[in-house]
């Protein structure tokens, strides 16, 4: 007669440890960390610098695999698959504080000559077209509250103009503030292994015009989709969405 075996879920040598015990939990954590390190990671948009393309409290997935695979806890690459292209939205480590993450749009690649004047972006002496949008679906999301911060005082969506910018092969929304004096920037030439990045909310973005070129080693990945979005977070737990203000129609919105 075969003798029944009583497996101990605390014994790492037993099958039960890996199916019902602490081993299964440990494996789940390792798999989650592996996916976060090499493939996808979730981020939350904290400010209005990318309006109207990305809204405050948009929760996005960032594709970390698209450009390559890095050595864990390092800026060094194990293998590279591609380079960021003009028009792509990327998440990166802020050059002045590597513990802070920023999100901006790539407007200049290595060797590009960048010039910005009167709200128009020039790359290699070519102005990129701004045109009125065919529809207002991007701007319809905007609220007056999205434009009010500690340093901006009273502001509102009616003070901004929505355009579509043709950035090479990428068409995307930008905002310009009415009546602002648009500072002239450049011309500058993007050095090797660097990028020039800007926010889509052109008059309310701290970007390469303020802190300089972005080293490519700082890049974490490319923004891919919005998987959750809300107008407000909970008053006590600030990183959780208020379920009463969820923007359901932005779920699985592709970032472009």
Which backbone phi and psi does 175 adopt, to 5 degrees? -120, 140
Q: Which of 49, 53, 194, 205 is catalytic?
A: 49
Can 104 be counted among the known catalytic residues? yes
Measured from the Cβ of residue 149, the count of other Cβ atoms closer than 10 Å reads 12
Sorted by sequence, the CB contacts under 8 Å of residue 163 that are 6+ apart come out as: 130, 131, 132, 133, 173, 174, 175, 176
Q: Which of 57, 138, 106, 108 is nearest to 221 (CA)?
A: 106
Q: Which of 60, 121, 85, 115 is nearest to 219 (CA)?
A: 85
CA 50 – CA 90 distance, rounded (Å): 11
- Decide if 114 contacts 186 (C-beta within 8 A): yes
Considering just the CA atoms, what is the radius of gyration of the chain in Å? 22
Q: Which of 64, 93, 104, 216 is catalytic?
A: 104
Q: Which of 119, 161, 170 is nearest to 142 (CA)?
A: 161
Residues with a catalytic annotation lie at 49, 104
């Amino acid at each position: 007669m075969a003798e029944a075996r009583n497996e101990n879920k605390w014994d790492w040598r037993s099958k039960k440890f890996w199916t019902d015990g602490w081993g299964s939990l440990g494996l789940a954590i390792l798999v989650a960390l592996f996916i976060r390190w090499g493939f996808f990671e979730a981020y939350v948009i904290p400010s209005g610098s990318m309006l109207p393309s990305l809204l405050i409290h948009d929760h996005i997935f960032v594709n970390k695999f698209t450009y390559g695979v890095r050595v864990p806890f390092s800026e060094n690459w194990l293998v590279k698959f591609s380079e960021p292209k003009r028009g792509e939205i990327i998440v990166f480590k802020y050059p002045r504080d590597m513990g802070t993450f920023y999100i901006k749009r790539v407007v200049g690649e290595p060797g590009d000559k960048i010039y910005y004047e009167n709200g128009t972006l020039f790359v290699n002496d070519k102005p990129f077209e701004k045109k009125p949008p065919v529809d207002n679906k991007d701007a319809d999301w905007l609220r007056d509250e999205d434009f009010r911060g500690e340093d901006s005082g009273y502001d509102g969506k009616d003070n901004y103009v929505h355009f579509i910018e043709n950035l090479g092969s990428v068409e995307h929304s930008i905002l310009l503030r009415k009546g602002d004096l648009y500072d002239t920037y450049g011309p500058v030439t993007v050095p090797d292994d660097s990028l020039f990045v800007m926010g889509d909310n052109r008059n309310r973005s701290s970007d390469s015009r303020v802190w300089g070129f972005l080293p490519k080693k700082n890049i974490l990945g490319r923004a891919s989709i919005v998987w959750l979005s809300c107008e407000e977070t909970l008053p006590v737990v600030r990183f959780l969405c208020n379920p009463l203000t969820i923007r359901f129609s932005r779920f699985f919105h592709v970032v472009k």
